[in-house]
């Protein structure tokens, strides 16, 4: 399946070389032996990165593997400083993490609109010969060369920013819920892994309030080891403030499925257990009141449990209320 959602790219950033300082000596008809007046070289261009809240994918960088900034100009006469090299700006969605491609070290995270950081710094311009004159050496005929630019490989990873992240096995009804509570139209079908990329939806709440919900590809047992969609899925959960676990009412054991999901998160990143959690038992239109009461009595957890049906649209408002209270806590 082809997709426009790209959340991982590797790029080469090459900053510009600094311009050389000038060795010019001032000469005129009235002053045939003037002193040094060579200007400094301009700095090389930086490679910059900036957050853009209008973007949601790294697709634009998929086929642009090399980002190359301009070189600084050399210094000139009359202590004129050379022009700086042209900077290259990369715009990325909020939630982008930049890593060193060799060491995997996290260098920065872009989380705010307009946040601008130097990714690869340009070389400094060389100093002109005016900086080297002294009482004993009044006409230096040398200047500094410009500093070389840098060539660095970076990895950019996108972690979806959302208030609520949907956590569940494939076919748990996550996409259906998102389509009911928001204007998002994720692909929905009755087979595992229908959702191959995260889908975001804006959920309307009381008094014209709203929050963002993310339907993230379904987890499977062993996902923390890379099975199924593995780490590609789990990475996006790190940014969500509330985790909404979804287990269908027809599951063999609702509590056991919840615990398997929780264990996958704990194995991947124990800090995920610090997030607020809510359990939604989906597809409850298949249960009558007696079965629902029996199931409710069997679920002994220390988190809120809400019974919902996206098809019949029951329990949806109660679920929104619970999620909203968790977000405000």
pTM over 0.75: no
Domain 1-158 top-level CATH class: mainly beta
Please give the average per-residue pLDDT across 175-182, as a whole number. Answer: 83
Query: Of residues 184 and 81, which shows the higher confidence score?
Result: 81
Angstrom distance (rounded) from CA 199 to CA 175: 8
**Average pLDDT over all residues of the chain:** 84
CB-CB contact of 320 with 244 (8 Å)? no
Helix (H), strand (E) at residue 321: helix 316-328
Residue 17 has pLDDT above 80, yes or no: yes
Residue 196 pLDDT level (bands cut at 50, 70, 90): low
Residues 254-311 pLDDT 10s: 899 999 888 888 888 888 888 899 999 988 888 788 888 888 888 888 899 999 988 8
183 CB-contact burial (10 Å; exposed 0-12 / middle 13-18 / buried 19+): exposed
> Which pLDDT score, from 0 to 100, does residue 136 have?
84
Residue 193 pLDDT level (bands cut at 50, 70, 90): very low
Answer yes or no: same fold for 1-158 and 164-328: no
**Arch. (CATH architecture) of 164-328:** 3-Layer(aba) Sandwich (3.40)
Angstrom distance (rounded) from CA 13 to CA 59: 17
Residues 197-242 pLDDT 10s: 667 778 888 888 888 888 876 565 654 454 444 455 567 777 788 9
What are the domain boundaries of the chain? 1-158, 164-328
Query: Of residues 73 and 192, which shows the higher confidence score?
Result: 73
């Amino acid at each position: 399946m082809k997709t426009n959602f790209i959340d991982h790219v590797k790029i080469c950033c090459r900053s510009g070389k600094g311009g050389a300082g000038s060795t010019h000596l001032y000469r005129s008809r009235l002053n045939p032996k003037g002193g040094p007046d060579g200007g400094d070289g301009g700095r090389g261009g930086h490679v910059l990165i900036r957050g853009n809240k209008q973007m949601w994918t790294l697709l634009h960088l998929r086929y642009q593997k090399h980002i190359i900034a301009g070189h600084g100009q050399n210094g000139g006469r009359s202590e004129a400083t050379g022009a700086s090299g042209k900077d290259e700006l990369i715009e990325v969605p909020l939630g982008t993490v930049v890593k060193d491609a060799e060491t995997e070290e996290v260098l920065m995270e872009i989380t705010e609109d307009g946040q601008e950081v130097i990714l690869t710094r340009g070389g400094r311009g060389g100093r002109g010969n005016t900086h080297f004159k002294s009482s004993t050496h009044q006409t230096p005929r040398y200047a500094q060369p410009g500093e070389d630019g840098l060539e660095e490989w970076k990895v950019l990873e996108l972690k979806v920013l959302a208030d609520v992240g949907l956590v569940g096995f494939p076919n748990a009804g996550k996409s259906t819920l998102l389509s009911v509570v928001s204007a998002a139209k994720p692909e929905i079908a009755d087979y595992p892994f229908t959702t191959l990329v995260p889908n975001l939806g804006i959920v309307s709440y009381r008094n014209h309030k709203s929050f963002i919900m993310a339907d993230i590809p379904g987890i499977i047992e062993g996902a923390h080891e890379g099975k199924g969609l593995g780490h590609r899925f789990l990475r996006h959960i790190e940014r969500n403030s509330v985790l909404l676990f979804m287990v269908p009412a027809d599951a063999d054991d609702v509590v056991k499925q919840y615990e398997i999901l929780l264990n996958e998160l704990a194995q991947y990143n124990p800090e995920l257990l610090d997030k607020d959690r809510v359990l939604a038992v989906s597809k409850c239109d298949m249960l009558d009141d007696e079965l629902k009461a029996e199931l409710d009595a069997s679920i002994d957890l220390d988190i809120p449990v809400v019974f919902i049906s996206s098809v019949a649209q029951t329990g949806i408002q109660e679920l929104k209320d619970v999620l909203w209270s968790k977000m405000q806590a």
